Structure 1
Amino acid sequence: MHPSLPFITVALCTHNHADRLERTLKTLAELHPTEQPWEMLVIDNGSTDGTPLLLADNGWHPAGIAVRVVREERLGLSNARNRALREARGEYLLFMDDDETPDPDWLCAYERAMQEWRPDALGGRIEVFFEDGVRPPWLQDELLGFLGKLDHGAARWLDAPGTPIFGGNFAFRRSVFGTIGDFDARLGRMGKANIGGEDTEIYRRLLAHGCRVRWVPEAIIHHRIQTPKLRRGYFLDLHFRQGRSEGAAKRGSGRRIPPPYLFAQWLRAVGRAVGRRLGSGADQSLRLEMNAAYFCGFLLGWIRDRG
């Protein structure tokens, strides 16, 4: 590494979350100092609220750390992350979200793993923190992963599709994107559109290219959940949109009429959801309702969209 260049670029992509972002930026001052230099890169993804004004005030800058703010007008989290790829100067590029609080040792834990193992990509533990209210009774433990919670246990190499790394706390050797390509701009949140899947898609691409992915459980970040904004509809919409995207991709340029087995899957999913809700109540049925929403989206994407 050139002595004048940072070892790590921490990239934070944000869109119209000035209230959450302000708290996140303040936590950067609490990070333990690293052995090698790092830089802070903030990508303002077309914000129209108070975000530009907040970022223009350098009072939040961590002491002794180079900070750059870049505006990306093309809306979409993947577009913002791809802009970070172009702007970053570090050997490693570490992403975080604008509603997170990193553990003070978060950055140092990643630095130690990067220096010891020299992986192509890394992922860290994400804990969920309900910052301003009581957890809703319908929010079962199995649903916390859809709010970003992630824990793969002890430190190890990840090599299975079922052990993804999440966008709220993952890092890459910057050069690896020359092999695997950029983030898929069709995936990821776009403004208010509740689209996901870009992080698991790029993780699978890493595996397909034989890249080495290291799990770093000591690199902990806390995803702050604004409890009053939690809605069942968020989870249903997330799965409907995911299904629609995957349905369109699966059909490709084929016939618009879905194969019969998809209708059978849809009917079974809807039947199970209705049965659980009638039998056990709404607090116990959301996971099955999410499956039904997914198949509804999948069928619609197959019929109406083109992959």
Structure 2
Amino acid sequence: MDGSTPFITVALCTHNHADRLARTLETLADLHPPGRPWELLVIDNGCTDATPTLLARTAWHPAGVAVRVVREERLGLSNARNRALREARGEYLLFMDDDETPDPEWLRAYEQAMEAFEPDALGGRIEVFFEDGVRPRWLQDELLGFLGKLDHGEARWLDAPGTPIFGGNFAFRRGVFDTIGDFDARLGRMGKANIGGEDTEIYRRLLAHGCRVRWVPQAIIHHRIQTPKLRRGYFLDLHFRQGRTEGSAKRGSGRRIPPPYLIAQWLRALGRAAGLRLRTGADHSLRMEMNAAYFCGFLLGWMRDRG
């Protein structure tokens, strides 16, 4: 690798979020540059708002950094990330979202871990910031992870399924995708469809292939939470769609009639959610209601969707 070849490619995928993207691009000027060259790759995922006009300007370009903008017409976050795999030039590919503010030391923290440990993948800490300054009473701490908050504590290797790295702040050695395959295009946000799960799926695939995943708590991203996500329906819809996707995949080519144990799980989830809401009120029952929404989606996906 010569002095002009980037060591890190930062990939920022965006779809129809021109207002929040503008703020994110402005924050890149505050990054403390790493010791080795890096490039910024922006994937315009079929944007139909003001995003292409915004990206056509150059005033937001970080000083001294190669910037490229690529348009990916196939809608879906995973399709955009897979396009980034094809376009990136860096040895490591680092992903961020269009509604985030990186800590000034973000890139340096990742660079230090990459050089010291040469991992196959890395993940960093994500803090949530309520952009409108209002946190609903029903938004208990246990739910913040569904808004992207992530903290696995001290720096270490991650090797358990329950310690995933999240898509708003993770990195990969670019060559690892030759081993584990691309992002699953069936998962991840797709336009307005509130689909998730692509980041935990690829993390588990990393573990299944024996890849080395490093946790870098000093690489901090602040996820800016907007008002539309501060609705109970956002959480319920997220889990319903996840359940539907997983139900269809679990059935595969089998019978569309669900087995009795799934019916029993569904009924138990509904009963627990209803009981907790009656006992404690709506401010404390959302997590259980999300479980019920998941099983509703799982059954629907099993019975109706193509596996």
Q: Which residue of 2 aligns with 1:44?
A: 44
Q: What is the RMSD computed on CA atoms of the aligned residues? A: 0.7
CA displacement, residues 17-67 of structure 1 (integer Å, 9 cap, x when unaligned): 000000000000000021000000000000000000000010000000000
Counterpart secondary structure, 2:59: helix
Counterpart secondary structure, 2:138: coil
Moved more, 213-222 or 129-138: 129-138
Question: Following TM superposition, by how much is the alpha carbon of 1:131 offset from its aligned partner in structure 2, in angstroms?
Answer: 1.4
1:192 aligns with 2:192: yes
For structure 1, the residue ranges without an aligned partner over 5 or more in a row are none
Q: Which residue of 1 aligns with 2:12?
A: 12
Mapping 1:127-206, distance limit 5 Å: 127-206=127-206
Mapping 1:83-98, distance limit 5 Å: 83-98=83-98
CA displacement, residues 114-169 of structure 1 (integer Å, 9 cap, x when unaligned): 00000000000000000113100000000000000000000000000000000000
Letter in 2 for 1:61: H
Question: Following TM superposition, by how much is the alpha carbon of 1:229 offset from its aligned partner in structure 2, in angstroms?
Answer: 4.5
Counterpart secondary structure, 1:94: strand
Letter in 2 for 1:250: K
- Conserved 8 A contact 1:8-1:93: yes
CA displacement, residues 247-269 of structure 1 (integer Å, 9 cap, x when unaligned): 00110000011100000000000
Letter in 2 for 1:266: W
Moved more, 132-141 or 67-76: 132-141
Q: Which residue of 2 aligns with 1:302?
A: 302
Q: Which residue of 2 aligns with 1:67?
A: 67
Instruction: Say if 1:62 and 1:167 are closer, same or farther in 2 by CA, change over 3 A.
Output: same
Regions of 4+ moved over 6 Å: none
- Please give the alpha-carbon distance, in whole angstroms, between the structure 2 residues aligned to 1:166 and 1:134: 24
- Please give the alpha-carbon distance, in whole angstroms, between the structure 2 residues aligned to 1:228 and 1:126: 20
Counterpart secondary structure, 2:253: coil
- Please give the alpha-carbon distance, in whole angstroms, between the structure 2 residues aligned to 1:143 and 1:178: 35
- Conserved 8 A contact 1:133-1:227: no
User: Number of aligned pairs?
Assistant: 307
Instruction: Say if 1:178 and 1:228 are closer, same or farther in 2 by CA, change over 3 A.
Output: closer
- Please give the alpha-carbon distance, in whole angstroms, between the structure 2 residues aligned to 1:284 and 1:159: 32
Letter in 2 for 1:82: N
- Please give the alpha-carbon distance, in whole angstroms, between the structure 1 residues aligned to 2:275 and 2:173: 47
Q: Which residue of 1 aligns with 2:269?
A: 269
Counterpart secondary structure, 2:257: coil
Letter in 2 for 1:122: L
Question: Following TM superposition, by how much is the alpha carbon of 1:279 offset from its aligned partner in structure 2, in angstroms?
Answer: 1.0
Q: Which residue of 1 aligns with 2:112?
A: 112
1:253 aligns with 2:253: yes
Mapping 1:72-83, distance limit 5 Å: 72-83=72-83
Q: Which residue of 1 aligns with 2:214?
A: 214
Q: Which residue of 1 aligns with 2:24?
A: 24
| TM-score, with length taken from structure 2 | 0.99
| TM-score, with length taken from structure 1 | 0.99
- Please give the alpha-carbon distance, in whole angstroms, between the structure 1 residues aligned to 2:243 and 2:33: 43
- Please give the alpha-carbon distance, in whole angstroms, between the structure 2 residues aligned to 1:218 and 1:111: 11
- Please give the alpha-carbon distance, in whole angstroms, between the structure 1 residues aligned to 2:150 and 2:92: 21
Quick one: percent identity of the two aligned structures? 87
- Please give the alpha-carbon distance, in whole angstroms, between the structure 2 residues aligned to 1:286 and 1:166: 22
Moved more, 220-229 or 206-215: 220-229
Question: Following TM superposition, by how much is the alpha carbon of 1:70 offset from its aligned partner in structure 2, in angstroms?
Answer: 0.3
1:235 aligns with 2:228: no
- Conserved 8 A contact 1:270-1:292: yes
- Please give the alpha-carbon distance, in whole angstroms, between the structure 1 residues aligned to 2:223 and 2:194: 17
For structure 2, the residue ranges without an aligned partner over 5 or more in a row are none
- Conserved 8 A contact 1:94-1:169: yes
- Conserved 8 A contact 1:38-1:65: yes
- Please give the alpha-carbon distance, in whole angstroms, between the structure 1 residues aligned to 2:133 and 2:111: 34
Letter in 1 for 2:132: D
Question: Following TM superposition, by how much is the alpha carbon of 1:227 offset from its aligned partner in structure 2, in angstroms?
Answer: 3.2
- Please give the alpha-carbon distance, in whole angstroms, between the structure 2 residues aligned to 1:100 and 1:232: 22
- Conserved 8 A contact 2:3-2:37: no
- Conserved 8 A contact 1:133-1:228: no
- Please give the alpha-carbon distance, in whole angstroms, between the structure 2 residues aligned to 1:228 and 1:215: 30
